[in-house]
Structure 1
Amino acid sequence: MWFTQVSLKNPVFATMVMLAIVVLGLFSYQRLKVDQFPNIDFPVVVVTVDYPGASPEIVESEVTKKIEEGVNSIAGINALTSRSYEGTAVVIIEFQLHIDGRKAAEDVREKVATVHPLLRTEVKEPRVLRFDPASRAVWSLAVLPDDKAGGTQRSAVELTTWSEQVLKKRLENVRGVGAVNLVGATKREINIYLNPQALEAFGVTPDQVVSAVRNENQDLPVGSIRSVAQDRVVQIDARMERPEDFGKIIVARKNAAPVRLDQVARVNDGAQEVDSLALYNGQRTLLLSVQKSQGENTIEVVDGLTAAVAELKNQLPPGVRLETIGDSARPIRVAVNNVRQTLIEGAILTVLIVFLFLNSWRSTVITGLTLPIALIGTFLFMNMFGFTINMITLMALSLCVGLLIDDAIVVRENIVRHVQMGKSAYNAAMDGTQEIGLAVLATTLSIVAVFMPIGFMGGIIGKFFHEFGITIVAAVMISMFVSFTLDPMLSSIWHDPSIHGHGHKTGPVTFYDKTIGRVTGWFDRATEALAEGYQRILRWSLVHKVATMLIALAVFVLSIFMVPLLGTEFVPKADFSETSLNFYTPVGSSLEATEAKARQVEGILREMPEVRYTLSTINTGSAQGKIYANIYVRLVDRKDRSRSVDQMSDVLRERLKTVP
């Protein structure tokens, strides 16, 4: 092959090419983002419409069905489902996988815009969002009272006001943050309680009160006053600054006398009715749930949020402390680090096995260099194709570790054979590589032919394994290039004296022979014994052909019958020291009733010694509705407990059966 000739004639050039691949690969590795799975675009659009005060039946008839009929005519819809809650309608449109998600969302927005005029005036503006698994909360922070600080405890309204005006804005300024939502917030609200007897006495209707409060509590532009020298803007500043100012609003005039609001109603500076709850270890708390922007990296966003909170802790008001509850970056780091560790261990074991078989440290170095160059060089192509370091790509690299060094071993062994035939190192490298080149090329291309179609499969599985197939193909092609260039070049200029002593048994002479040489010698003898055993089995198989075929057929049939015994799952189960629990109360239950059940479930959970803390959320996130609750359970680290998450789940199900 021509690049083998170029490499042998220009060893410095070949070395610089290898260094360039390594340098570019390391540079690309620093730019690669880390995530748990590849970034997949799911063509799913969700339409959410709020209808305050409406029952699920009314929401279904007045909102949900009309939205379904409007979007049903869009081309490419695979499934259309809907859910009607109290005051909320959710319509989920799932498109075929070849449909672009952005275009699908635009089509849905156009159809929903035509349906909106047909809805009642009380129905809020529909919200059309693309479904993105990464749009869930990646980080959550609890605002808790600090008992150690002493002094007066801040009220729930004060904590909510500070969190909304200071903490929320600080977190929203972090790069990559898409939205910050408050769960369990108790917002300040001016409540006006009407006095029916006073209203009847003054002849004032509730509509007059509502109209007066709405019209009087606002700033209005009047116009401008212009002169030769000045141009001034005139406006009416009528927005109320204090709660008691509402009592001075004139709601009507009777017999030329004004009727003020405080004469027919009571103004109360209180709290807004809570519509969602967060319970931290059974106690109500204020939770800030953070979502990242589309396309942003989870780990980078979480690191930015953690740094922002660390800076803010010195500026906290007295009696307030912050506690990080949920962190989606931690499972990603654990999973990726585990796969990365497996990859490194596999590479070390591969080189060790090669050393034991070749029984030469020079040959091991020559062939072993293929492994790091191919792995590092693959990062260059991963960066070019926009991949990330995730479980799929790292799994691909782990799987192909053994494949990457095969070509180099075959080329090196053939070069050694030619050297033992009496040829010079240069001629042996040239002739040995050319002789075996076609076979190595055919082997590599067969591997490419196996894994390349995996990168272009259809369906959801194909979207996930696109990076898997391309990564393996890139790594294998780089290893073949290194085997045809670097290995022959090193073999031609770095002579190995041990290859001439192959098969000759001599006593220990050097320190190497007295130490590691004894281990490799024992391994050679064991390998020869194994080869002799294989030859005996092969001779028996050649004599008893029918029996050999029957044994092979029996193993094949038995394997087919054992396939149903294997479990199937999309993603392997992993223990990240956390789990979640979902439940719902009977339809029509109040928020307080669901809260009481959540406290009971949390109490059972915290009785288990493996539980570090619990966080319950009601009517938020994936648990929309006052009857739906989600409990996040953080466990102690895996090394500090004897039971796995699955084992704890079985025990927990039995205990939860006691909750009425």
Structure 2
Amino acid sequence: MSITNTVVRRPTTIIVIYLLLVALALVVYPNLAVELFPEMDLPMVIVYSTYQGASPETMESRVTKLIESGVSNVGGIKTISSTSSEGVSMVMLEFAYGTDLDKASQSINDNLNLFGDMFPEDATKPSIFKLNTNMMPVMNIALRGSDGQDANELREVVKDFVQNRLERVAGVSSTSINGGQDAFIQVAIDQNRLDAYGLTVSQVAYALNPQNLQVGAGSLIEGDLSYLLRTDAQFSSLNQIEEAMVTSFPKYDAKGNVIGSNVVRLSDIATVSYAYRDATSKVYINGEPGVYISVSKESDANSVQVAKRINDLIVDLNKELPKGMSLEVIVDTTSMIESTINTVYQSLLYGVALVMVVLFIFLRSIKSTLIIGISIPISMLLTVLVMFFMGYSLNLMTLTGLILGLGMTVDSSIVVLENIFRYRERGAKLHAAAILGTKEMIVSITASTLTTVCVFVPMVMLRSNLEMLGEMITPMAGTIIISLLASLIVSVTLIP
């Protein structure tokens, strides 16, 4: 029995199947990731390491060259470039498009572990970063102060109060603060006093380090109770730092006997105060120094939903911020996404309306016109369902594919319906017209649809050969292929 006979003789089964598929598509649609551009794993891996206080020459000889030696035998590398600056080493590896960066990163990590003992003790363990378009922030939020607060004060509020709250929002992966400088405690040593006591800067540092520790001291058991003990020697105020003992000298009496000691405290040789780190960059918002925080989303998160949650949180935070301060969104990339999605909805509605008007003019049948009008959104929902399971997201390229495919999705359905309608005009019965009309056109519409599909298949198959262009257009081509095949299935199974 042919597929046409099956679908015509069992309409209830087919309708139930389509209802289930449509319901599933409506369920997964809100969970479909929404972003500005397709997720692209750029074939670049960065290996980053720091070594406090080291000169560029030292970084080059003791860190950068070791990293280059460790990664040189990793497969698939096209070029290796490195930059060594004061305290920072950065090695950039470019791979061929199509390389599995997860495996490449694991291979890099395994090779660097073999060189672990050769790195300087004070150097940080090399960190591996894969470049991905999801690293781009989806939103920038500025903190404004109307009572004359400077950028450093605003940065402290963002760091202590706003940043943690934003990072707890579902779908947010990371945040970064721009503008202002971080505060730190500065110990300014007077060289003349240091020379008078016969001390060096290294001795002062060595004396202070053990006095700013919190160390576990075991446990104490008393009956059924066990007490955890700790030695808390961390500084909690500037006064405690100033009173820290640096060294001591014995005190003698007139006979030369030791009668005590003279304690040299930090306040005797240095001035302790709060200060701000030197600015490496400055942020101006509307011509005034300011602070903003950039928010990046998780790779599989819906950008629009994440932005909505952040906007809801901003409303709550503005009620809790100190007087005269307020948060304001200055960049929101999801606004373009929402605009594009709205365009797709409008195109869908206009397309359905115009197709139904044209069909009604030629077929003069309300029933036939409604059938085509229903087939369009069903084809679109099936396309969205397949996109979800294939890991596609809603972005500018896939939405463009949906818009381009919208006009082609009704072609097969119109051809089949018009042929069925022609048999009905000749006097054929309902079932016979549906079966004969569909059978007569099934080969033609299949060949026509596959011909169009074959135009886009090479774009998907040759994705790595097209490099960056392939990363951009493959989601669009894939979406068009899915929508065409979905429309073919709908025209053969649902329309009859």
* Corresponding residue SS for 1:259: strand
Return the alpha-carbon distance in structure 1 between the equivalents of residues 349 and 178 of structure 2.
43
Q: Give the equivalent residue in structure 2 for 1:480.
A: 488
When residues 238 and 57 of structure 1 are mapped into structure 2, their CA distance, relative to the original with a 3 A threshold, is: closer
Return the alpha-carbon distance in structure 1 between the equivalents of residues 456 and 217 of structure 2.
72
Return the alpha-carbon distance in structure 2 between the equivalents of residues 415 and 237 of structure 1.
87
Shift of 1:234: 4.2
Higher mean alpha-carbon deviation, 431-440 vs 316-325, is at 431-440
Q: C-alpha deviations, 1:542-561, integer Å up to 9, x for none? A: xxxxxxxxxxxxxxxxxxxx
Aligned residues of 1:456 and 1:462 also touching (Cα < 8 A): no
Q: C-alpha deviations, 1:296-334, integer Å up to 9, x for none? A: 333333222222221111111123222222223223223
Across the aligned residues of Structure 1 and Structure 2, the Cα RMSD in angstroms comes to: 3.0
Shift of 1:62: 4.3
The answer to whether 1:113 aligns with 2:113 is yes
Q: C-alpha deviations, 1:316-359, integer Å up to 9, x for none? A: 11232222222232232233333443444344434444444445
Higher mean alpha-carbon deviation, 168-177 vs 270-279, is at 270-279
* Corresponding residue SS for 2:156: helix
* Corresponding residue SS for 1:251: strand
Higher mean alpha-carbon deviation, 165-174 vs 291-300, is at 291-300
The answer to whether 1:283 aligns with 2:281 is no
Shift of 1:213: 1.5
Question: Counterparts in 2 of 1:89-128, with a 5 A limit?
Answer: 89-128=89-128
Aligned residues of 2:238 and 2:272 also touching (Cα < 8 A): yes
When residues 112 and 280 of structure 1 are mapped into structure 2, their CA distance, relative to the original with a 3 A threshold, is: farther
When residues 297 and 19 of structure 1 are mapped into structure 2, their CA distance, relative to the original with a 3 A threshold, is: closer
Shift of 1:466: 4.3
Aligned residues of 2:33 and 2:303 also touching (Cα < 8 A): no
Question: Counterparts in 2 of 1:357-368, with a 5 A limit?
Answer: 357-358=362-363, 360-368=365-373
- One-letter amino acid matched to 2:9: K
When residues 182 and 101 of structure 1 are mapped into structure 2, their CA distance, relative to the original with a 3 A threshold, is: same
Q: Give the equivalent residue in structure 1 for 2:436.
A: 431
Return the alpha-carbon distance in structure 2 between the equivalents of residues 232 and 22 of structure 1.
61
Return the match for 2:332 from 322, 327, 331.
327
Q: Give the equivalent residue in structure 2 for 1:209.
A: 204
The answer to whether 1:167 aligns with 2:175 is no
Q: C-alpha deviations, 1:395-434, integer Å up to 9, x for none? A: 2222222322222332233334434444444433333333
Shift of 1:68: 2.0
Q: Give the equivalent residue in structure 2 for 1:371.
A: 376
* Corresponding residue SS for 1:4: helix
- One-letter amino acid matched to 1:197: N
Return the alpha-carbon distance in structure 1 between the equivalents of residues 274 and 105 of structure 2.
42
Q: Give the equivalent residue in structure 2 for 1:471.
A: 479
Question: Counterparts in 2 of 1:173-188, with a 5 A limit?
Answer: 173-188=168-183
Higher mean alpha-carbon deviation, 197-206 vs 361-370, is at 361-370
Aligned residues of 1:346 and 1:398 also touching (Cα < 8 A): no
Q: Give the equivalent residue in structure 1 for 2:418.
A: 413
Q: Give the equivalent residue in structure 2 for 1:131.
A: 131
- One-letter amino acid matched to 1:41: D
When residues 212 and 443 of structure 1 are mapped into structure 2, their CA distance, relative to the original with a 3 A threshold, is: same
Q: Give the equivalent residue in structure 1 for 2:264.
A: 259
The answer to whether 1:30 aligns with 2:30 is yes
Aligned residues of 1:347 and 1:401 also touching (Cα < 8 A): no
Q: C-alpha deviations, 1:58-85, integer Å up to 9, x for none? A: 5444433332232111112123222334
Higher mean alpha-carbon deviation, 419-428 vs 37-46, is at 419-428
Return the alpha-carbon distance in structure 2 between the equivalents of residues 464 and 423 of structure 1.
50
Q: C-alpha deviations, 1:25-61, integer Å up to 9, x for none? A: 3333333232223333344321122244455555444
Shift of 1:447: 3.2
Q: Give the equivalent residue in structure 2 for 1:72.
A: 72
Question: Counterparts in 2 of 1:557-572, with a 5 A limit?
Answer: none
Return the alpha-carbon distance in structure 1 between the equivalents of residues 134 and 430 of structure 2.
57
Q: Give the equivalent residue in structure 2 for 1:6.
A: 6
Shift of 1:17: 4.1
Return the alpha-carbon distance in structure 2 between the equivalents of residues 22 and 222 of structure 1.
63
Question: Counterparts in 2 of 1:149-160, with a 5 A limit?
Answer: 153-154=148-149, 157-160=152-155
Higher mean alpha-carbon deviation, 33-42 vs 193-202, is at 33-42
Aligned residues of 2:31 and 2:302 also touching (Cα < 8 A): no
Q: Give the equivalent residue in structure 2 for 1:539.
A: none
Return the alpha-carbon distance in structure 1 between the equivalents of residues 429 and 221 of structure 2.
101
Shift of 1:228: 5.6
Higher mean alpha-carbon deviation, 250-259 vs 217-226, is at 217-226
Q: Give the equivalent residue in structure 1 for 2:243.
A: 248
- One-letter amino acid matched to 1:402: G
Q: C-alpha deviations, 1:275-295, integer Å up to 9, x for none? A: 443222232222222233343
- One-letter amino acid matched to 1:193: A
Aligned residues of 1:143 and 1:287 also touching (Cα < 8 A): yes
Return the match for 1:218 from 213, 220, 237.
213
Aligned residues of 1:35 and 1:390 also touching (Cα < 8 A): yes
Shift of 1:274: 3.2
- One-letter amino acid matched to 1:407: S
Give structure 2 stretches of 5+ with no counterpart. Answer: 251-260
TM-score by length of 1: 0.66
Aligned residues of 2:401 and 2:479 also touching (Cα < 8 A): yes
When residues 186 and 444 of structure 1 are mapped into structure 2, their CA distance, relative to the original with a 3 A threshold, is: closer
Shift of 1:258: 1.4
Aligned residues of 1:25 and 1:376 also touching (Cα < 8 A): yes
Q: Give the equivalent residue in structure 2 for 1:308.
A: 313
- One-letter amino acid matched to 1:199: L
When residues 156 and 404 of structure 1 are mapped into structure 2, their CA distance, relative to the original with a 3 A threshold, is: closer
